Structure 1
Amino acid sequence: MTNKLAVVGPFADVNLGDYAMLVNNLALISPSEVVLFTYDQDFSSLLIRDYFPSSDIDVCYVEIDPIKASKINSNSMPHDIIAAISNLEEILRKLRSMGKILVNGGGYFNSLWFKPHRRTRLCQILAPALIASIYGIPVIFSGNGYGPFESEDIPFFERIFSFLKSSCFGSRDSLLSRVWGVKAGIEPARLHFIPDDLFPVEPDLLKGEVHFEVPSDSYCVLETYYTEDYLQAHKSEFINLFRFVQDELNLKLVLLPFHLGNGGLTQAKLIQSWDDRVRVIDISQRGYLPINDAMAIIANARFVISSRYHALVFAVQSKTPIFSVMRDVLESKEYYFNKNYGFLETALGRNFDPNLFLYDCFTTAFHKVENELSNITREQMRIFDAYLDEGLATARSARASFFKSKVISI
């Protein structure tokens, strides 16, 4: 038995939810040596310096030939992805040294990530796992979501998942991920439930230096990464909400972007230009939103309105009422409903109306805030008090058991 570990996944994205899952898993597993296979070496190296400065962690960029990558499509085979990798021998050498690879959690096994603008990164994630499988190196998937897949993409994922023989596939929900995973070629016996990779957040990650001061006045949090066009089209609704929150509720309004640029910070600054009383947590100098800052700001808020899945995960485990707005993905709410309700079911059981937490758009969420805030927040708090402690304990035990049996014991 060895506690060495290779890891691959979407953690090179600056988005809080993507990178923080890696940090949380490493904090729990505490491997002696780690190799991170990444598509952004600079950001991955920054994370290691910030979170694990004294650990033995090697960051390996997955080099992919852009011409070969551009030719990968729904008719491609697993070996086409491997053939596109320029540093295959380096990856194989590091895989053999580690002895196993963890495919970190997230929502990237779906047709959205198979679209041209994300396909190269998906292939950079898949390649180390495919290479490991060829040479009998164990492949373990942690808390991943599967689907939705468009019909023309299913054969590609069937080939990938069938190729990964003897792999263990972790699924972060007990709803549609299992259905889609089986449709895409994963044998039911190889699908294992494991809570989201950020539920719960490891306590040690919340003890570090806080980089953004938590407002001293009572406040609520707003986050959105909806497009600027959407925001401009609904500008009056946002302004009306700001007036209600600040003038009627006497609360400050804090904009908390989870990502740089169009992933949230650009939208936050646009919204602030409509009302200079609104405060933006500007993550541009830091380069990303640290885990403990996000949790502290959310935990101390009166309530949260957000379109980010992991805002829901952070709010629930800190017992902060939340209005979770579900985005369209592939012209449907299915992707967000599956992971949002799937998480709520993990945290709270089937003891509540989904409409208490989940909203189809900001217009609906704002209407509820302006007309039913007290009733909704009171009922959410009742549910948290009744069911969350058990959900947290069960999730903590499930994650520890999964990693002990599937990762640490190998």
Structure 2
Amino acid sequence: MKIALTGPLADRNLGDYAMFVNNIYDMGENNQYVIFNYSKGFVAELDNDYFDDYNCEYVEVKLSKSFYRKPKFIERLVKFALKSINFKINPVDIVPTPIEIADSIENIDEIKKQLADVDVLLVSGGGYFNQLWYDWGRKDDLFKIVAPIIVAKMLGKQVVFTANGFGPFDESEKFYSEIFGFLDDTPIAVRDTVMSSTYLKKLGVDNAQLHKLPDDLYLLNDELSRKADNVRHFDKKYIVIEFYYPLSWLKEHFEAVKGFIERINKEHGFHVVYMPFDNNDVSDYLKENIKFDFFHVFQSTGSYLKLEDAVSIIRNAEFVVCNRYHALVISISHKVPVVNVMKPVYDLRYYFNKNYGLLKNALSGTSYDASTILRTDYLEVLEDIGSNLSQLKETYCEFYQSQEFDLNKRTLGEKRKDYFKKYLTK
């Protein structure tokens, strides 16, 4: 088959690109792939690291104009002032139609040529159909993801979504109504049974279009798992911490973080590994200011965190404390005790939908308590784990070792396999 792909696969964040890599590995080496992207340099790195044995061609989607208008300072000030008194103004948003987006593609002839003989366009998983990507500086990237979908539909090509999270839409609902109304007969997989389907149905998406699948990274391809087997970074027992609060947060709460690291080693005998999902100033600050020989900041080789490194570090850990959704995904998939601290995006709906959706998929029928896994205050979690690490680990043993957990995983794997067989094989 000739399979085209689009999605947030050009982001150096593991939570975006890794799903795309896992999808291609699951579809196999015998296909021809056309990969639409918005970051030519990074996908070239991915190609070098993961796709030597695959027939992949890369096409950068280019827009002739930007759709994102950064709010002026006075506009942000007024918005903040109104929000402080709980007063909201719905802005007038000029919503581009699918045809306007197609007309804005600078290299549309190249995209049409590439799509002319594809069998299917796969929209790789993630959480990018929402207010955040539409409203913030990711708007142009969102339109570059959507553009090949629109052109493929105009050419009468099959479009298939793997497991995505959808919403919240809020003010962007008008735009997404246009897009998903245009995709009237497209199979759409949702990765949660919390709100994604509800949000889509509110846009008018037919229930028959919707399919429930696991997150694209929950079931790791065997070859990628073997890659992770071949790397081992730490020979001591350790727990992993991960957060992506700004450096200002770390400086404000530095003593609490440092004290937690000391406590974990003194009272529980474990090392602590900080594993960032991207290289950032927080990593540098931690390395410069915490010199314990039982504390480690993982440094990626190259410009991004490799999937096999992340999997190896997490699945060999005694416990994981994280902000990132895919740190939670990898932990649960590999039966590692984990607490996820949800970080607000406007509010907590975006993270709650996908994080709680993962728990429902993976842990249904077990004795889990979602309120102990999903939390909202990182410092409270550090204190709780410092005091109750052994007891918390024991609670995970109960449901990770249950028949229900293994049955859920097999069932999710069968659903994903059947979906791929139906739509992504000849």
Match of 2:25? 27
Alignment check: 8 A CA contact 2:66 2:140 kept: no
Match of 1:141? 161
The alpha-carbon distance between structure 1 residues 51 and 167, as it changes in their structure 2 partners (threshold 3 A), is: same
Matched, 1:165 2:165: no
Match of 1:42? 41
Alignment check: 8 A CA contact 1:144 1:170 kept: yes
Note the C-alpha offset of 1:227: 1.3
Gaps of 5+ in 2: 71-91
Match of 1:128? 148
Match of 1:208? 227
Give, in whole Å, the separation in 2 of the partners of 1:237 and 1:68.
42
AA aligned opposite 2:166: Y
Matched, 1:339 2:354: yes
Q: Report 1:95-114 matches (<5 A).
A: 95-114=115-134
Matched, 1:326 2:342: yes
Give, in whole Å, the separation in 1 of the partners of 2:418 and 2:42.
30
Matched, 1:294 2:310: yes
Match of 1:361? 377
Q: Report how many aligned residue pairs link the two structures.
A: 400
Match of 2:405? 388
Matched, 1:196 2:221: no
AA aligned opposite 1:232: K
Range moving further from structure 2, 367-376 or 152-161 = 367-376
Match of 1:280? 297
Give, in whole Å, the separation in 2 of the partners of 1:229 and 1:115.
24
Alignment check: 8 A CA contact 2:286 2:297 kept: no
The alpha-carbon distance between structure 1 residues 113 and 68, as it changes in their structure 2 partners (threshold 3 A), is: closer
Give, in whole Å, the separation in 1 of the partners of 2:283 and 2:322.
12
Give the secondary-structure state (helix, strand or coil) at the position aligned to 1:13.
coil
AA aligned opposite 2:328: L
The alpha-carbon distance between structure 1 residues 276 and 211, as it changes in their structure 2 partners (threshold 3 A), is: farther
Give, in whole Å, the separation in 1 of the partners of 2:277 and 2:231.
13
AA aligned opposite 1:296: S
Give the secondary-structure state (helix, strand or coil) at the position aligned to 2:112.
helix
Matched, 1:405 2:422: yes
Give the secondary-structure state (helix, strand or coil) at the position aligned to 2:343.
coil
Note the C-alpha offset of 1:73: 5.1
The alpha-carbon distance between structure 1 residues 81 and 70, as it changes in their structure 2 partners (threshold 3 A), is: farther
Note the C-alpha offset of 1:380: 1.1
Alignment check: 8 A CA contact 2:8 2:145 kept: yes
Give, in whole Å, the separation in 2 of the partners of 1:295 and 1:353.
25
Note the C-alpha offset of 1:298: 0.8
AA aligned opposite 1:53: D
Alignment check: 8 A CA contact 1:222 1:253 kept: yes
AA aligned opposite 2:4: A
Note the C-alpha offset of 1:96: 1.5
AA aligned opposite 2:61: V
Q: TM-score, normalised by structure 2?
A: 0.90
Give, in whole Å, the separation in 2 of the partners of 1:362 and 1:59.
40
Give, in whole Å, the separation in 1 of the partners of 2:381 and 2:230.
30
The alpha-carbon distance between structure 1 residues 68 and 299, as it changes in their structure 2 partners (threshold 3 A), is: closer
Note the C-alpha offset of 1:114: 0.6
Note the C-alpha offset of 1:208: 2.5
Give, in whole Å, the separation in 2 of the partners of 1:43 and 1:188.
36
Note the C-alpha offset of 1:213: 4.1
Among candidates 5, 8, 11, match of residue 10 of structure 1: 8
Give, in whole Å, the separation in 2 of the partners of 1:209 and 1:323.
22
Gaps of 5+ in 1: none
Range moving further from structure 2, 71-80 or 82-91 = 71-80
Matched, 1:373 2:389: yes
The alpha-carbon distance between structure 1 residues 233 and 68, as it changes in their structure 2 partners (threshold 3 A), is: closer
Give, in whole Å, the separation in 1 of the partners of 2:65 and 2:388.
52
Note the C-alpha offset of 1:174: 1.1
Give the secondary-structure state (helix, strand or coil) at the position aligned to 2:424.
helix
Alignment check: 8 A CA contact 2:231 2:312 kept: no
The alpha-carbon distance between structure 1 residues 73 and 60, as it changes in their structure 2 partners (threshold 3 A), is: farther
Give, in whole Å, the separation in 2 of the partners of 1:82 and 1:245.
54
The alpha-carbon distance between structure 1 residues 74 and 113, as it changes in their structure 2 partners (threshold 3 A), is: farther
Alignment check: 8 A CA contact 1:68 1:84 kept: no
Alignment check: 8 A CA contact 1:146 1:180 kept: yes
Match of 1:305? 321
Give, in whole Å, the separation in 2 of the partners of 1:10 and 1:393.
27
Give, in whole Å, the separation in 2 of the partners of 1:338 and 1:268.
29
Note the C-alpha offset of 1:273: 2.9
Note the C-alpha offset of 1:357: 0.9
CA RMSD of aligned residues (A): 1.8
